[in-house]
Structure 1
Amino acid sequence: MKVLPEDFAKLFNKRNFNILYLALTSDYKALMSEEEFVTYANDFKNNSGDFELKFHNSIHYKIDRYCFIDDKGHHMITAVFNQNGEIGGIQFDLHEQFETDNDYTKNKFKFPINDDWFVLWGGTNAFLNYHYPFKNQRYAYDLIQSISGHAHNGLETKISSYFTYGKDVVAPLKGEVVDVYLHQPDNFIGIPNMDQPMGNAVVIKHEHDEYSMVAHLQAGSIIVRVGDIVEQGDLLGQAGNSGASNEPHLHFQVTDGRDLIESKSLRIRFEDYKEDPVQAETVRGV
């Protein structure tokens, strides 16, 4: 059964959850029974208002994402539709905005890359950026190389088939290398290492006590060490799939402290962009 994205909110608002369940892909149904889905959706609706379509984008080939926000402005639903009109995923979230959205870095950075990359996650809401609810990662970016909407050349289980894998990662701004995380293997596709979430990573201290981090780098690729002074554009290593990473991508963020767990993520002021780049846009760095 198919449900049009423009009809999703109408069905949800009328609590026609059984109809929505019929529109789910078989893979999604295997994760949750109809009874479980209806119960969960009903509980979420009890605490929210009526939903309306607000955002739409595409971050994978023939996969479209839609964001519905309720009229109270407090809850949101993300629904993922495939090319067959089936719903491949539904996520229920709070719709939050934080005062820290106004706190930009004092420094102006460039993306730590040297050609065109695709913004997989980035922006100031949970639809555009899954990091957003978390204080220490709120304004982080996840970047990938994408060709015609594809992240790989067709062999999705082979790490070297991903266009991101092995691409150069460079310093986003002049600074001192203060932490280097090494010795983490690249993961098999789809099996993240949650025990070492950053994987292979580099942390650089910049003026105004701002700290940039690039993470999930390729095993054995990092060429800098603690104490090195790097200039903007200097090579740090190559993109990989280490740490909490399902498939090759580059995590980039700036915080107000060296402790990446306790520090606050800062909204990045970019040298080359007047408006913040967001999910589904293409960006260029140094």
Structure 2
Amino acid sequence: MITPENFSENFNNENFKEIYNQTFEQFKANISKEKFVELCTIFHREANDLSMKYNNTLKVNFHRYSYMNDKKTHFLIVAFTDKNDIVGIEFHLNHKYDTDNIWTKNEYYVPLEEAVVSAGGIGIFHNYHYQSDNQRYAYDFTNMIELYQHNGAPADLEAYFAYGGDVLAPLDGTVVEVKKDLLDNRIGTVNSEEPSGNYIIIEHDNHEYSLLAHLKRNSVKVKPGDKVKAKEVIAQVGNSGATTLPHLHFQIMSGKELNKDSIRIRFKNHETLTQGDRIEEL
């Protein structure tokens, strides 16, 4: 059996058919064995051998692993269940950007009193936003208890621990834009026409702007022109916009427009934050 621990050995030995045979039926429905073997062969030829680099667990019975080559130019992301069924495999080039070394001038509080980083950090494995210029250093924050995001009712929006949680101003500033009346999505659906959903944009010192998005309908407590203080309650976590599960999207931008580039965030109480970190703000 192929396990997370011996996956790289099997890949390096080009046991691609054996890997394919252990994938979920949904994976097989999207790609034939022949095409999978062809993709793996080309990838292995370009990358050479791989070894395990990162791993984390953010959902019950769902474990993610990253396998990277020595030159750190290519990597795979592989998801396993507890029974070592392979849920999915992603092929990636390991892009890096000069902006990784440019940090915000201000230091910001995490805009929730208690949260788990569901996406955030440097690199695609920890942060799916990383491929996008205007969201590269964004964070998604949710909440969970023992890897569960809800109390056992996955279709019930109100059952999610993050939903309705207080959103805090990350720093002193002036509100410059809000949207507040979009409906929260039913679980599993998205509003692609309004990807940010309900949101607040705040101007801070040094021409930096925070975006807090996917807010709960009609929970926004501020309006453009309002002055806010750090850690002041300004809204509630919702499920509006291009999101399937309740969470808070947070990023710092170089301008007040939604398409402005994001900036890597310096946090007040945390040296770094990455996917899987649990936060309790002081």
- Assess same fold via TM > 0.5: yes
**After superposition, what is the alpha-carbon deviation per residue over 1:140-190, rounded to whole angstroms, capped at 9, x for unaligned?**
111111001101111111111111111111100010111112322111211
1:259 corresponding residue in structure 2: 257
Instruction: Give the distance between the partners of 1:204 and 1:48, measured in 2 at CA.
Output: 43
Name the SS of the counterpart of 2:6 in structure 1: helix
Change (3 A) 1:156 1:30: farther
Contact 2:180 2:215 in 1 (8 A): no
Contact 1:49/1:72 (CA < 8 Å) preserved in 2?
A: no
8 Å Cα contact 1:117/1:283 also seen in 2: yes
Give the match for residue 272 of structure 1.
269
RMSD value, Cα? 1.4
Please name the residue that 2:210 is paired with. 212
- 1:47: Cα distance to partner? 2.9
Matched, 1:42 2:35: no
Q: CA deviation at 1:216?
A: 0.5
Moved more, 182-191 or 121-130: 182-191
State TM-score, norm by structure 1. 0.94
Post-superposition Cα deviations, 1:30-62, rounded to whole Å, max 9, x if no partner, equal 333323322333333343221111111111123
Q: 2:186 aligns with which of 185, 188, 193?
A: 188
**C-alpha deviations, 1:199-225, integer Å up to 9, x for none?**
001000000000001100111111211
Q: CA deviation at 1:100?
A: 1.2
Once residues 13 and 78 of structure 2 are traced to their aligned partners in structure 1, the CA distance between those partners, rounded to angstroms, is: 17
- Structure 1 runs, 4 residues or longer, greater than 3 Å off: none
Cα 1:131–1:33, aligned 2, differ >3 Å: closer, same or farther?
A: same
Q: Following TM superposition, by how much is the alpha carbon of 1:77 offset from its aligned partner in structure 2, in angstroms?
A: 0.6
What runs of 5+ residues in structure 1 fail to find an aligned partner?
Answer: none
How far did residue 3 of structure 1 move? 1.4
Sequence identity percentage: 39
Alignment correspondent of 1:15: 14
Determine whether 1:84 maps to 2:80: no
C-alpha distance after superposition, 1:102-133 (max 9, x if no partner): 1111111001112x211111111111111112
Secondary structure at the aligned position of 1:36 is classed as helix
Match of 1:142 among 140, 143, 149: 140
Q: How does 1:224-235 map to 2 (within 5 A)?
A: 224-235=222-233
Contact map agreement 1:217 1:241 (CA 8 A) in 2: yes
Give the count of matched residue pairs.
282
1:62 and 1:83 in contact (8 A); partners too:
yes
- CA offset at residue 285 of structure 1? 3.4
Q: 2:123 aligns with which of 104, 119, 125?
A: 125
Secondary structure of the 1:132 match is: helix
**Which secondary structure does the structure 1 equivalent of 2:28 belong to?**
helix
Offset, 1:234: 1.5
Matches within 5 A, 1:137-176: 137-176=135-174
Distance 2:203 2:245 in 1: 28
- Any stretches of 5+ residues in structure 2 without a counterpart? none
**Equivalent residue letter for 2:237:** A
Match for 2:65: what amino acid? Y
Question: CA contact under 8 A between 1:109 and 1:172: conserved in structure 2?
Answer: yes
